[in-house]
């Protein structure tokens, strides 16, 4: 037990100097508080044994275990935010709070469920610059989700074939196209001609439809210079507003995300999270949750990040996680797992964190029961704790990050997802859900637009499809899938 890292019940961590975090922790052998103190030590100033080189000042930077729930195996730890690298470095925060501790031998679980940033800390971070509102203005599209696609096959089309599929989607009425996350500069589809042909396809589609369009280009690369080279090429080739920069934020890393945010504040920064499943999945007792990842992406300045389909699409996910994450990213005020966040308001008193509350909105007992039956690999304990409590967070003036909803969706699933979100402020991208339409990509795009029109007019897609043949075909095809 490293007692100097424990101050149960203390109020001193609510003084705006501490970032708060709540972990689900389990151990092979230690008592929970013992393990918690080891986590606090390893993730701040210490190691596994009390160190002789500590000073009074270094001790003032100790992380503090300030609360524990033995039944739910929850541990609350406060981190003095002055330990973090100056200059708004998100990568550095993660190195502390999801770093060495994930490998500690005595732990059988260590999952970061939620974090809370004090206002003084928030001021140090960029947050988003170009938001979905800017994109809406460019597209002149309001009050509906921005309808998009990922070009499929994931890889293998030549640059001109790729652009033709873009054209088909755009001319069918879709607004937003993205590179699939591994698309880069492959020998059969070189980056430069891909960008060039996309520009031509976009011009052509804009002429045909009279609508503006957006393409999100993956700029992730082996090194900094190459990433910037790709971004500059896109910038040179495309009209301002018509392109976004996609960064594979997990595999290329947070430094890539923050570099693009800082270099190109006038561009929509699209955070693709491929690989996040390794540490966010509920089956994995180690890592962080989707809401935490989403909060960190907002801190880093992502204009948009994938937040999952809440179990509606092909990826693992749930209402309790994905919708919470989406709302956290987006909302001025919304419920988190543990911390509720209000992004714009300045509180009169900074007593947010003492307002720990139960919010029942996302606690769906039936859903948990269903999940338990369906997936016996899920860590139920974690699942239950994830749904237990919420905190309040004030995000000050930090702009919103928009949810990007993707993964196994198709036009038939649009309305159910809007219902789950109870909101339309998101981008949705449907890959297979568009390109496998029996009549091809253009009809797939039309079906998607029609599904959205049906939702706007508050009629069922069944009803709407009587006069919209592409939607009819989509219902018959995807309905069976
Ligand atoms: C979707 C997608 C996205 C996933 C990532 C894919 O394609 O392009 O990468 O959505 O998951 O390759 O699977 P489909 P998430 O529409 O054809 O499924 O959004 O959860 O991060
Ligand atoms: Mg070390
Ligand atoms: Mg993809």
Render pLDDT for 456-481 as a digit per residue (tens, 0 to 9).
999 999 999 999 999 999 999 998 76
**Closest ligand relative to 432 C-alpha:** 1
Does ligand 1 come within 6 angstroms of the Cβ of 184? no
Residue 182 Cα, ligand 3 centroid: separation in angstroms?
Answer: 8
Closest to 130 in 3D by CA, of 304, 329, 250: 304
Domains of the chain: total? 3
Ligand 1 atom, smallest distance to 154 CA: 12
Same domain? For 145 and 292 the reply is: yes
Classify residue 217: in a domain, yes or no.
yes
The pTM of this model reads: 0.89
Residue 15 Cα, ligand 2 centroid: separation in angstroms?
Answer: 28
The C-alpha atoms of residue 268 and residue 301 are separated, in whole angstroms, by 10
Q: Which of 387, 414, 443 is the last residue of a domain?
A: 387
- The residues annotated with a catalytic role in the active site are 152, 272
DSSP per-residue string spanning 108-119: EEEEEEEEE--H
Does ligand 1 come within 6 angstroms of the Cβ of 13? no
Classify residue 266: in a domain, yes or no.
yes
The C-alpha atoms of residue 379 and residue 390 are separated, in whole angstroms, by 20
DSSP conformation class of 322: I
Same domain? For 152 and 188 the reply is: yes
Q: Which of 34-43, 147-156, 189-198, 345-354 is the least confident region?
A: 345-354
**Closest ligand relative to 152 C-alpha:** 1
Q: Whose CA is nearest to atom 19 of ligand 1?
A: 406
Does ligand 1 come within 6 angstroms of the Cβ of 249? no
Give 17 or 330, the one with higher predicted confidence. 17
Same domain? For 372 and 432 the reply is: no
Annotate 449-481 with b (16+ C-beta within 10 A) or e (fewer): bbbbbbbeeeeebeebbeebebbbbbbebbeee
Same domain? For 355 and 312 the reply is: no
Q: What is the CATH number of the domain that holds 26?
A: 3.30.70.150
The predicted pLDDT at position 445 comes to 98
Does ligand 1 come within 6 angstroms of the Cβ of 431? yes
- The percentage of residues in the chain with a pLDDT greater than 70, rounded to a whole number, is 85
Classify residue 127: in a domain, yes or no.
no
The predicted pLDDT at position 453 comes to 98
- Average pLDDT estimate for 14-36: 91
Residue 459 Cα, ligand 3 centroid: separation in angstroms?
Answer: 31
Q: Whose CA is nearest to atom 6 of ligand 1?
A: 407
- Average pLDDT estimate for 2-28: 91
Does ligand 1 come within 6 angstroms of the Cβ of 448? no
Same domain? For 14 and 84 the reply is: yes
Classify residue 392: in a domain, yes or no.
no
**Closest ligand relative to 431 C-alpha:** 1
Render pLDDT for 68-103 as a digit per residue (tens, 0 to 9).
989 889 999 999 999 999 999 999 999 999 999 999
Residue bearing tokens 């469920």:
113
Render pLDDT for 184-204 as a digit per residue (tens, 0 to 9).
999 999 999 999 999 999 999
Choice from 147, 150, 220 to test ligand 1 binding pocket (greatest atom count within 8 A of CB) = 150
Classify residue 317: in a domain, yes or no.
yes
Same domain? For 200 and 321 the reply is: yes
Q: Whose CA is nearest to atom 3 of ligand 1?
A: 407
Same domain? For 330 and 381 the reply is: no
Same domain? For 298 and 404 the reply is: yes
Q: What is the CATH number of the domain that holds 426?
A: 3.20.20.110
Same domain? For 242 and 152 the reply is: yes
Residue 122 Cα, ligand 3 centroid: separation in angstroms?
Answer: 31
Ligand 1 atom, smallest distance to 152 CA: 17
Same domain? For 42 and 93 the reply is: yes
Q: Whose CA is nearest to atom 4 of ligand 1?
A: 407
The C-alpha atoms of residue 198 and residue 338 are separated, in whole angstroms, by 43
Does ligand 1 come within 6 angstroms of the Cβ of 326? no
Given a cut of 50, is residue 355 above it in pLDDT? no
Closest to 270 in 3D by CA, of 144, 396, 156, 406: 406
Classify residue 351: in a domain, yes or no.
yes
The predicted pLDDT at position 391 comes to 47
Closest to 435 in 3D by CA, of 466, 480, 476, 474: 474
Name, in order, each residue with C-beta under 8 angstroms of 60's C-beta and a sequence gap of 6 or more.
80
Q: Which of 70, 96, 122 is the last residue of a domain?
A: 122
Given a cut of 50, is residue 436 above it in pLDDT? yes
Q: Which of 67, 96, 122 is the last residue of a domain?
A: 122
Same domain? For 403 and 368 the reply is: no
Q: Which domain holds residue 293?
A: 132-341+397-478
Does ligand 1 come within 6 angstroms of the Cβ of 442? no
Residue 348 Cα, ligand 3 centroid: separation in angstroms?
Answer: 43
DSSP conformation class of 6: B
Question: Which tokens go with 254?
Answer: 């947070």
Give 352 or 133, the one with higher predicted confidence. 133
Q: Is 303:269 a contact under the CB 8 Å cutoff?
A: yes
Give 31 or 340, the one with higher predicted confidence. 31
Band of pLDDT at residue 396, cut at 50, 70 and 90: low
The C-alpha atoms of residue 108 and residue 474 are separated, in whole angstroms, by 46
Give 369 or 347, the one with higher predicted confidence. 369
Same domain? For 280 and 406 the reply is: yes
Band of pLDDT at residue 19, cut at 50, 70 and 90: very high
Classify residue 297: in a domain, yes or no.
yes
- Average pLDDT estimate for 428-449: 97
Residue 412 Cα, ligand 3 centroid: separation in angstroms?
Answer: 20
The predicted pLDDT at position 115 comes to 87
Across all residues in the chain, what is the average pLDDT?
A: 87
Classify residue 447: in a domain, yes or no.
yes
Band of pLDDT at residue 372, cut at 50, 70 and 90: low
């Amino acid at each position: 037990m490293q007692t100097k890292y424990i101050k149960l019940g203390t109020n001193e961590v609510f003084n705006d100097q501490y970032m708060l975090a709540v972990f689900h922790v389990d151990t092979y052998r230690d008592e929970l508080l013992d393990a918690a103190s080891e986590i606090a030590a390893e993730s701040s100033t210490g190691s596994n044994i009390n160190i002789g080189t500590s000073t009074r000042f270094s001790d003032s930077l100790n992380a503090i275990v300030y609360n524990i729930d033995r039944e739910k195996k929850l541990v609350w730890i406060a981190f003095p935010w002055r330990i973090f690298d100056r200059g708004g470095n998100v990568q550095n925060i993660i190195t502390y709070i999801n770093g060495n501790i994930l490998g500690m031998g005595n732990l059988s679980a260590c999952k970061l469920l939620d974090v809370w940033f004090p206002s003084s800390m928030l001021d140090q971070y960029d947050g988003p610059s170009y938001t979905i509102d800017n994109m809406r203005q460019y597209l002149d599209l309001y009050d509906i989700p921005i309808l998009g696609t990922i070009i499929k096959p994931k890889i293998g089309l030549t640059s001109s074939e790729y652009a033709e599929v873009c054209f088909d989607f755009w001319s069918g009425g879709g607004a937003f196209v993205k590179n699939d996350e591994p698309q880069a500069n492959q020998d059969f589809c070189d980056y430069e001609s891909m960008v060039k042909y996309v520009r031509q396809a976009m011009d052509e589609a804009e002429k045909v439809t009279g609508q503006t369009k957006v393409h999100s280009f993956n700029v992730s690369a082996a090194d900094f210079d190459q990433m910037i080279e790709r971004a500059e090429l896109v910038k040179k080739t495309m009209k301002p507003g018509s392109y976004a920069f996609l960064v594979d934020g997990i595999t290329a890393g947070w430094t890539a995300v923050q570099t693009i945010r800082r270099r190109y504040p006038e561009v929509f920064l699209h955070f693709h999270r491929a690989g996040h499943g390794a540490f966010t999945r509920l089956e994995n007792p180690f890592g962080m949750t989707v809401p935490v990842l989403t909060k960190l992406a907002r801190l880093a300045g992502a204009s948009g990040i994938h937040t999952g389909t809440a179990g509606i699409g092909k990826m693992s996910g749930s209402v309790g996680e994905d919708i919470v994450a989406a709302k956290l990213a987006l909302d001025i005020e919304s419920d988190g797992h543990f911390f509720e966040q209000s992004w714009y308001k300045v509180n009169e008193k900074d007593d947010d964190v003492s307002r720990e509350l139960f919010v029942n909105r996302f606690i769906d007992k039936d859903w948990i029961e269903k999940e338990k039956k369906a997936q016996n690999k899920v860590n139920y304990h974690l699942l239950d704790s994830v749904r237990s409590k919420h905190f309040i967070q004030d995000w000050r003036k930090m702009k919103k990050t928009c949810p990007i909803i993707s993964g196994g969706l198709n036009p038939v699933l649009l309305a159910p997802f809007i219902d789950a979100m109870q909101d339309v402020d998101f981008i949705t991208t449907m890959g297979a859900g568009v390109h496998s339409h029996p009549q091809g990509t253009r009809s797939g795009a039309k079906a998607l637009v029609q599904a959205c029109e049906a939702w706007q007019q508050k009629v069922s897609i069944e009803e709407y499809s009587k006069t919209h043949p592409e939607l009819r075909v989509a219902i018959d095809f995807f309905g069976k899938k």
